[in-house]
Chain A
Amino acid sequence: MSHPDNHSPQSPPPDSWHRRTLEHKSALFAVATTLAISVGGLVEIVPLFTVSAGPQAMAEVTPYTPLEQAGRDIYAREGCVQCHSQMVRPFRAETLRYGEWSRAGEYSFDRPFLLGSRRIGPDLHRLGGKYPDVWHYEHMKDPRSTSPGSIMPSYPWLLEDKIDAADVQASMTALSVFGHYTQAEIDAAPQAIAKQGEEIVGRLRQSKVENIEADHEIVALIAYLQRLGTDGKKALKNQVAQSEGAETTGSAQ
């Protein structure tokens, strides 16, 4: 390719270091690229596996019950995370609206994490215990009956479709690799699911909900939603109590 505006009679420059070393040696170029892209990830991610730099564990935070885990899988399946975050940020406007801001240690058993990236609907991390079970039931059936103006789709199939205890046990077996469950807990899952499910169904029936069984998907989802953020709230309360206790002891000395 030649150029009419090529006004310089100078000869091309000699090959640069970059050209001689890297552009002529493709393997070396590939190695250099691999090194360049490795540093950042290693520096940022690896420290999280250490005790001091990683999330501070909270004793109050425990794995989800089998029914809650089933509900969490439904939450994942329906893509709730596409519109709802589970991360209250440390701003007063957020804690006024949602409750305590979210700490890292609260997510220890969140596989996968469900922090979300967009709030088309409100944050759900402190949802547990905020509304009665029947509110969730009605809200899933028709969001506009409980939240006039909502743009959320209705989820009528959750009121009819059923969960399968064997399927929940398969999930628990996979999660047991990471220490979420013991074999005894997996074996007892059908009973645990029935027991927690019946409690929720009992409350729903009190509120005049009919045609509801303990193995309906909505029951599992309610169990999960009512658990959200409650361990963390307990842990933070205990921390406050402890530090107040320490202060009292400190001032008494």
Chain B
Amino acid sequence: MTAESAVVASPRYDDEIVKKFLLATFIWGVVGMLVGVILALQLAWWPANLGLPWTTFGRLRPLHTNAVIFAFTANGLFTGIYYSMQRLLKTRMFNDTLSNIHFWGWQSIIVAAAITLPLGMSQTHEYAELIWPIDLAIAVVWVLFAVNFFGTIAVRKVKHLYVAIWFYMSMVITITVLHVVNNLAMPATLTRSYPVFSGMTDALVQWWYGHNAVGFLLTTPMLGMMYYFLPKAADRPVYSYRLSIIHFWALVFLYIWAGPHHLLYSGLPDWAQTLGMIFSIVLLAPSWGGMLNGLLTLRGAWDRLRSDAVLKFFVVAITFYGMSTFEGPMMSIRAVNALSHYTDWTIGHVHSGALGWVGMSLFAVGYYLVPRLWKRPLHNEGWATAHFWLATIGIVLYVVAMWVSGITQGLMWRAIDDAGQLQYPNFVDTVIKLVPFYWIRLGGGLMYLTGILLMMLNIGLTIAGSSPNQAINPSPAPAK
């Protein structure tokens, strides 16, 4: 480990690209979460739609989801992948030019998304709203990334592929397939197109995409990053190699089947709905396999949780991963879905995944990397701990508010009075009831946003403030 850390200084690895992706991650993270906070305000207080076409909820929500998924999360994944795969494979990235095209191409795509979505240019497929020219650009940049990725694997200086690389690979392959198939469309104008599939088929293809974008962008590569950064930060061996094999193959095989749980009680044939439901249930154990390998790797390092912000973030991230991968299968059960579908319960569920698992993991990776990349201690460790508490309490407020509001609305929709008629025939009655919870959600979101702003300040002062010769030895070397 000593040698590995020293190598950072040598030109052997391209860490400039990692720095770029890291800064992009958190800058876009602030943007995505800020839009989320604005949306939360709009639901609590409708005049916040501002009466302008490009600031209405309907146009801003895709901006929020795309920013968080493709700007914050994806840049975070690229940060972790570029850093860890060079070290795991003991080689520099296959081609620096490809790395830079990947970086600048991806950021340009995000800027294009941030302009087109508020203008109302949308394909309407969730998390695939971007118009077809941008989709083409994504395909090109993604393929160049794939070439760089597999090229690096091809020129690796080690024989075997560590588990983190398996998970990264599953992302590179699956996202390619999903993106291409779900965006097959006939262009009408430069900004508008119509999908090849129609009606329920279009819906099924979309949720095959949508569910597995969660699976293979927000879950598997994030697990890969856990397998690298957690044992590094904790300085502990991974708990079980064979568990990693089993849960990896189970996840990549089973995840794909679960898409139809987004379409329960729709016009989708009953058998397809059943498949979506039962495969979601079977996903529980493989998901928890990842959680177990994460938490059990920390055996013997729990005492360090008190002082180490990176491990704190990781533990909460993995706990939320376990929680939301339990909640997801439950919500896939027909009887539960009948209540939860179309309510805020779903919104709470995705945020326990996105804020809890993805966000907290990326914060952990960020706090791990900044001192190592810029070779100086973090400006203020106390702020990192403050960030941790702001984020954790923020998530809890958010998720609990959405549980209450989701279940409340679900029950009001189905409430039947003594005469057998709807108890709340006026839909607005079921909306007004939720407004207090929307304010609580806004509070939780604001706390989370404050946390990442504090992190940005911390990173900025770390980079600008101290001089490199105050450098710490980033990973204390154990006796060899």
Q: Do chains A and B touch in the complex (CB under 8 A)?
A: yes
Contact call A170/B188, Cβ cutoff below 8 A: yes
Look across to chain A and name the residue whose beta carbon is closest to the beta carbon of B188: A174
Distance between Cα atoms of A16 and B242 in the complex (Å)? 10
User: Which residues in B have their C-beta under 8 angstroms from that of A108?
Assistant: 198-199
Given the interface pairs A26-B161, A97-B425, the reply to whether A174 lies near B267 with Cβ below 8 Å is: no
Contact call B173/A37, Cβ cutoff below 8 A: yes
Say if the beta carbon of B243 comes within 8 Å of chain A: no
Distance between Cα atoms of A29 and B183 in the complex (Å)? 27
Contact call A93/B416, Cβ cutoff below 8 A: yes
Given the interface pairs A40-B253, A118-B346, A170-B188, the reply to whether A79 lies near B61 with Cβ below 8 Å is: yes
Contact call B237/A3, Cβ cutoff below 8 A: yes
Look across to chain A and name the residue whose beta carbon is closest to the beta carbon of B153: A26
A77, A92, A112, A116: most-surrounded residue (chain B CB, <10 A):
A112
Count residues on chain B whose CB falls below 8 Å from chain A CBs: 104
Contact call A81/B279, Cβ cutoff below 8 A: no
Contact call A82/B57, Cβ cutoff below 8 A: yes
Say if the beta carbon of A9 comes within 8 Å of chain B: no
Q: Which of A73, A90, A93 contacts B265 (CB 8 A)?
A: A90
Contact call A93/B169, Cβ cutoff below 8 A: no
Contact call A150/B51, Cβ cutoff below 8 A: no
Given the interface pairs A1-B478, A2-B478, A149-B431, the reply to whether A112 lies near B202 with Cβ below 8 Å is: yes
Say if the beta carbon of A241 comes within 8 Å of chain B: no
Say if the beta carbon of B122 comes within 8 Å of chain A: yes
Distance between Cα atoms of A218 and B41 in the complex (Å)? 27
Contact call B252/A173, Cβ cutoff below 8 A: no
Distance between Cα atoms of A175 and B188 in the complex (Å)? 8
Contact call A122/B427, Cβ cutoff below 8 A: yes
Contact call B425/A113, Cβ cutoff below 8 A: no
Distance between Cα atoms of A37 and B256 in the complex (Å)? 6
Say if the beta carbon of B468 comes within 8 Å of chain A: no
Say if the beta carbon of B414 comes within 8 Å of chain A: yes
Contact call B198/A110, Cβ cutoff below 8 A: yes
Say if the beta carbon of A210 comes within 8 Å of chain B: no
Say if the beta carbon of A188 comes within 8 Å of chain B: no
Look across to chain A and name the residue whose beta carbon is closest to the beta carbon of B176: A34
Q: Which of A23, A44, A116 contacts B257 (CB 8 A)?
A: A44
Contact call A113/B198, Cβ cutoff below 8 A: yes
Distance between Cα atoms of A177 and B185 in the complex (Å)? 11
Number of A-B contacts (CB under 8 A): 263
Distance between Cα atoms of A45 and B200 in the complex (Å)? 10
Say if the beta carbon of B272 comes within 8 Å of chain A: yes
Contact call B202/A119, Cβ cutoff below 8 A: no
State the main secondary structure of chain B at its contact with A. helix
User: Which residues in B have their C-beta under 8 angstroms from that of A2?
Assistant: 478-480
B195, B201, B259: most-surrounded residue (chain A CB, <10 A):
B201
Given the interface pairs A3-B237, A108-B199, the reply to whether A174 lies near B169 with Cβ below 8 Å is: no
Distance between Cα atoms of A156 and B51 in the complex (Å)? 8
Q: Quick check: which of A99-107, A199-207, A220-228 contacts chain B, the rest being far away?
A: A99-107
Q: Which of B51, B189, B237, B271 contacts A167 (CB 8 A)?
A: B189
Closest CB-CB distance, A31 to chain B, in whole Å?
A: 10
User: Which residues in B have their C-beta under 8 angstroms from that of A79?
Assistant: 56-59, 61-62, 120, 122, 124
Look across to chain B and name the residue whose beta carbon is closest to the beta carbon of A174: B188
Q: Quick check: which of A49-57, A130-138, A242-250 contacts chain B, the rest being far away?
A: A49-57
Chain A 109-149 residues near chain B, CB threshold 8 A: 109-122, 147-149
Say if the beta carbon of B126 comes within 8 Å of chain A: yes
Say if the beta carbon of B245 comes within 8 Å of chain A: yes
Distance between Cα atoms of A29 and B159 in the complex (Å)? 13
Distance between Cα atoms of A157 and B59 in the complex (Å)? 14
Contact call B51/A153, Cβ cutoff below 8 A: yes
**Given A117-B262, A174-B186, A174-B188, 18 extra CB contacts under 8 A:** A2-B479, A43-B275, A45-B208, A48-B200, A73-B192, A76-B124, A77-B120, A78-B120, A79-B61, A80-B58, A87-B266, A91-B338, A109-B198, A151-B435, A153-B56, A153-B58, A175-B194, A178-B196
30 contacts between A and B (CB under 8 A): A2-B479, A33-B169, A33-B174, A34-B177, A37-B212, A40-B255, A44-B259, A82-B58, A85-B342, A93-B413, A93-B415, A93-B422, A94-B413, A97-B413, A107-B198, A107-B267, A110-B199, A111-B202, A112-B125, A112-B195, A112-B202, A115-B203, A117-B342, A118-B344, A147-B428, A153-B51, A153-B56, A153-B57, A155-B56, A175-B188
**What are the 9 A-B residue pairs with the smallest beta carbon separation, nearest first?**
A79-B58, A104-B267, A107-B199, A40-B256, A174-B188, A153-B49, A40-B257, A77-B120, A93-B414
